[in-house]
């Protein structure tokens, strides 16, 4: 069976629903600015995340926080199939604060574990996926989403908002903030290092230790995350490439395909139903 991707987006919440099948190499290391919750349906889904190699088998739920670097690979010949939801973190936090009677002040929701064999969570995830993906009645979609949130609460932990984070090198955090503020610009390592009052070699080592990837790769992921948002809003790939500082549309397309296995035009069409 060849690789395929079926993607839809719920207009009311912005939640993306993706069902996909991959054989062999699925996608390069990348991260999302969404919260990912999905279920492996068939095969073995192997991926590296949080510096650990995971293998998700049928019925297991995988949960990734925004910014968590991960890849994808099928270690067996039949490949793997999964159904997954991309949850907007602002929507999730707002909804969770309605579910929890008491939420710690200045706290963010996170996942204690990347993989879970909880059958209640797996069932709730699949029901929410189908309700959103198949564009059921609004009351059905809302009920399924509420059930998913209730199931997720058993796997959440709240962590304090820390900036800067004392667990990470200050140099790396300064570099990350600079990349976020200048993501559309043609940034050089010397410029980035100067903004952090260090040299390029110390900067790169600190950044890799903190975020698991080099500054240039992080910058590409920043641009791709923004590209997804703008494409989903209906902007053309050419305009998105220009606004984000890619050399041209094909340059954006090469990076986009490596991360998401879709072309920017195809992703835009699936989210907006607009023609290419």
Q: How confident is the model over 49-99, as pLDDT tens digits?
A: 999 999 999 999 999 999 999 999 999 999 999 999 999 998 998 888 887
Q: Would you give the end-to-end CA distance of the chain in angstroms?
A: 27
- Mean pLDDT, all residues of the chain: 93
Contact predicate 2/62, CB 8 Å: no
The pLDDT of residue 220 is 95
The pLDDT of residue 233 is 92
Name the more confident of 118 and 11.
Answer: 118
Closest CA to 185 of 255, 246, 240, 245: 245
The answer on pLDDT for 117 being more than 70 is: yes
pTM here is 0.87
DSSP per-residue string spanning the chain: ---EEEEEE-TTT--EEEEEEE-SEEEEEE--SSEEEEEEEEE-EEEEETTEEEEE-TT-EEEE-TT--EEEE--STT-EEEEEEEE-HHHHHHHHHHH-SS--TTEEEEES-SEE--HHHHHHHHHHHHHHHTT--HHHHHHHHHHHHHHHGGGEEEEE--SS-TTS-HHHHHHHHHHHHTTTS---HHHHHHHTTS-HHHHHHHHHHHHSS-HHHHHHHHHHHHHHHHHHTT--HHHHHHHTT-SSHHHHHHHHHHHHSS-HHHHHHHHH----
The answer on pLDDT for 105 being more than 80 is: no
Binned at pLDDT 50, 70 and 90, residue 276 comes out as low
Residue 84 vs residues 21, 132, 143, 220, 248: alpha-carbon distances, Å = 12, 11, 18, 23, 31
Residue 30 vs residues 26, 49, 276: alpha-carbon distances, Å = 12, 10, 25
Least confident range from 35-44, 67-76, 103-112: namely 103-112
Least confident range from 26-30, 38-42, 58-62: namely 26-30
The pLDDT of residue 203 is 95
Domains and CATH numbers, the chain: 4-160 (2.60.120.10), 170-272 (1.10.10.60)
pLDDT tens track for 198-255: 999 999 999 999 999 999 999 999 999 999 999 999 999 999 999 999 999 999 999 9
The pLDDT of residue 275 is 66
Binned at pLDDT 50, 70 and 90, residue 167 comes out as confident
How many CB atoms within 10 Å of residue 209? 12
Structure tokens that stand for 83 in this block: 């159904």
Share of the chain above pLDDT 70, in %: 99
How many CB atoms within 10 Å of residue 107? 14
Query: What mean pLDDT do residues 4-10 have?
Result: 94
Structure tokens that stand for 101 in this block: 């009677």
Binned at pLDDT 50, 70 and 90, residue 22 comes out as very high
Query: What mean pLDDT do residues 176-185 have?
Result: 96
């Amino acid at each position: 069976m060849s690789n395929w991707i079926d993607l839809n987006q719920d207009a009311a919440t912005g939640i993306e629903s993706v069902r996909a099948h991959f054989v062999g190499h699925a996608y390069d290391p990348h991260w999302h600015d969404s919260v990912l919750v999905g279920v492996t349906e068939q095969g073995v889904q192997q991926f590296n995340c949080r510096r650990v190699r995971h293998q998700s088998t049928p019925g297991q739920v995988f949960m990734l926080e925004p910014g968590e670097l991960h890849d994808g690979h099928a270690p067996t010949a039949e490949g793997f199939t999964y159904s997954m939801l991309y949850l907007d973190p602002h929507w999730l936090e707002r909804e969770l604060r309605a579910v929890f009677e008491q939420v710690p002040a200045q706290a963010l929701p996170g996942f204690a574990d990347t993989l879970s064999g909880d059958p209640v969570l797996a069932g709730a995830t699949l029901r929410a996926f189908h309700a959103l993906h198949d564009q059921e009645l609004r009351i059905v979609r809302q009920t399924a989403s509420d059930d998913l949130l209730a199931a997720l609460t058993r796997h959440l932990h709240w962590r304090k908002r820390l900036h800067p984070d004392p667990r990470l090198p200050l140099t790396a955090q300064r570099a990350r903030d600079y990349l976020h503020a200048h993501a559309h610009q043609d940034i050089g390592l010397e410029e980035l290092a100067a903004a952090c009052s260090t040299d390029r070699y110390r900067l790169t080592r600190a950044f890799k230790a903190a975020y698991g990837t080099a500054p240039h790769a992080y910058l590409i992921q920043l641009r791709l995350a923004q590209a997804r948002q703008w494409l989903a809003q209906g902007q053309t790939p050419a305009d998105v490439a220009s606004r984000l500082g890619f050399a041209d549309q094909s340059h954006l397309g090469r990076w986009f395909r490596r991360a998401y296995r879709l072309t920017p035009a195809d992703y835009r069409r699936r989210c907006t139903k607009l023609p290419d």
